[in-house]
Amino acid sequence: MRLSIWILPPVCSRWTLFLFLCLMTSPSEAGSQVPGPDELPASPGLPDPILMDDGRRVDSVEDWEQRREEIEALLLHYEYGHMPPPPGNLKVESIESTELYGGEMKLNRVLLSFGPENKVRMNVGVYHPKERTEPRPVIILNDMVWLKHLHPIAKRVLDEGFIFAGFDRHDLDRDDKDRSDGVHPLYPDYDWGTLAVWAWGCMRVVDYLMTLEEVDSSRIALTGHSRAGKVVLLAGALDERIAMVVPNGSGAGGAGCFRIEEKGVETLELITQPERFGYWFHPRLREFVGKEDRLPFDQHFLKVLVAPRLLLSTDALGDLWANPLGTQQTYRAAQPVFDFLGVPDHNAIHFREGGHDMLEEDWDAILDFAGHHFLGKPLTEDYDRVPFPESPLKLELTIPD
């Protein structure tokens, strides 16, 4: 199999520039003016993330900052929908503090309120060592970390030198298509899907953690599994305060690829079905079913938004539904941006045997990678090994006739 990046023809660059200019107004105004799938050119290969809207290739850090804005505009318009700005009125109410493992660590539960009239409320849990130490890096799990089955993970994370935190994303939006609950009535002018709502929630956890003296706010990692992994990659792509982004088993709409798939994969058609998970995304994404080659991006565009920060995609070879091959190929397609920014080792990948889960081996990789980059520990594994030797190790630029 040959993986190629397709350099889009000039007409697509003009459309993308038009999209970006439209999105400078408002989501509702821009929506009716932006081209749909039938108006976009087909590009069977993966679109080039470092080809700018005006046809130039990114040649400087300033160029890249402009290109980041262009890519973000594409992804929010066509795939995820638009989020409100940070609320700026965060309030914190303590719920409880519990000692665990004979007093070795504390679990503090708090209720955050923010947004219009502080009506948005979200439960957050943070594990601390009992004795105060120098500020530590923190690993946020996109889950309710106070649940008993996660206590051993929390202890291990703390033993490795980190703080551990998490939240209940369902406080913001239940996992269904109902738009009368959670944040939706409070932000009626925003067209965000559920993944974007939850990603915005991750950012609010970061807001809170940055107020804590025991947290090193320059070393924040975010991880999550499956649908929570999709959320992690989106939040990490958009919030540059998150220093390390680790989607686990995230598949379609996460680290997977819409164009490159094998049998048994969750496709764009399957994931966006109204009776399944269409509400996770903006409705425009489903318009590309059967026309995936007309997407002006693929999921490597989400990955490159993390650069030059740390990105580790953790996955399982037996998790066919999450598209292991497509995940490998978006890793490769994102690599040129990390190379250009001088951090080739910040784009990392890890596969284990087994199926769709977040297991001890995944945590081994997360703590190894974070321990190296945040705490100066030696790495115990290589994080540039790809699992499919029949695929090329280097990207080939393919220019259409």
For 267-313, the pLDDT digits (tens) are 999 999 999 999 999 999 999 999 999 999 999 999 999 999 999 99
Q: What is the DSSP string of 288-336?
A: GTT-GGG-S--THHHHHTTTTSEEEEEEETT-GGG-HHHHHHHHHHHHH
Identify which of 19, 21, 2 has the alpha carbon closest to the alpha carbon of residue 11.
Answer: 19
Percent of the chain with pLDDT over 90: 85
Q: Is residue 86 part of a domain?
A: no
- End position of a domain, from candidates 80, 108, 126: 80
Q: Is residue 116 part of a domain?
A: yes
- End position of a domain, from candidates 28, 56, 80: 80
pTM of the predicted protein model: 0.92
Compute, in degrees rounded to 10, the torsion defined by CA atoms 114, 117, 119, 123: 30
pLDDT interval class at 392 (50, 70, 90) = low
Instruction: Examine the domain organization and report whether 126 and 156 are in the same domain.
Output: yes
pLDDT interval class at 3 (50, 70, 90) = very low
Alpha-carbon distance of 369 to 225, in angstroms, equals 17
Count the Cβ atoms, other than its own, within 10 Å of residue 151.
16
Over residues 37-48, the mean pLDDT reads 92
Query: Is it true that the peptide bond before 47 is cis, omega within 30 degrees of 0?
Result: no
Alpha-carbon distance of 396 to 2, in angstroms, equals 8
How does pLDDT run across 112-155, given as a tens digit for each residue?
999 999 999 999 999 999 888 899 999 999 999 999 999 999 99
Instruction: Examine the domain organization and report whether 10 and 159 are in the same domain.
Output: no
What CATH number does residue 133 fall under? Answer: 3.40.50.1820
- What is the residue-averaged pLDDT of the chain? 91
Range of the domain at 350: 91-398
- End position of a domain, from candidates 25, 51, 80: 80
**8 Å CB contact between 220 and 140:** yes
Identify which of 219, 205, 295 has the alpha carbon closest to the alpha carbon of residue 257.
Answer: 295
pLDDT interval class at 101 (50, 70, 90) = very high
Q: What is the CA 292 to chain-centroid distance, rounded? A: 20
Instruction: Examine the domain organization and report whether 11 and 138 are in the same domain.
Output: no
Q: Is residue 365's pLDDT more than 90?
A: yes
Identify which of 291, 260, 308, 338 has the alpha carbon closest to the alpha carbon of residue 36.
Answer: 291
Identify which of 298, 245, 246, 288 has the alpha carbon closest to the alpha carbon of residue 268.
Answer: 288
DSSP symbol at 80: I
Alpha-carbon distance of 81 to 361, in angstroms, equals 34
For residue 27, the model assigns a pLDDT of 53
Instruction: Examine the domain organization and report whether 73 and 95 are in the same domain.
Output: no
Over residues 18-35, the mean pLDDT reads 54
Structure tokens at 149: 């089955």
Q: Domain count for the chain, please give it.
A: 2
Q: Is residue 135 part of a domain?
A: yes
**Strand duo 4-6 + 396-398: pairing:** parallel
Alpha-carbon distance of 107 to 126, in angstroms, equals 6
Taking the CA of residue 263 as centre, how many other CA atoms within 13 Å lie in the half-sphere pointing to its CB? 0
Q: Is residue 85 part of a domain?
A: no
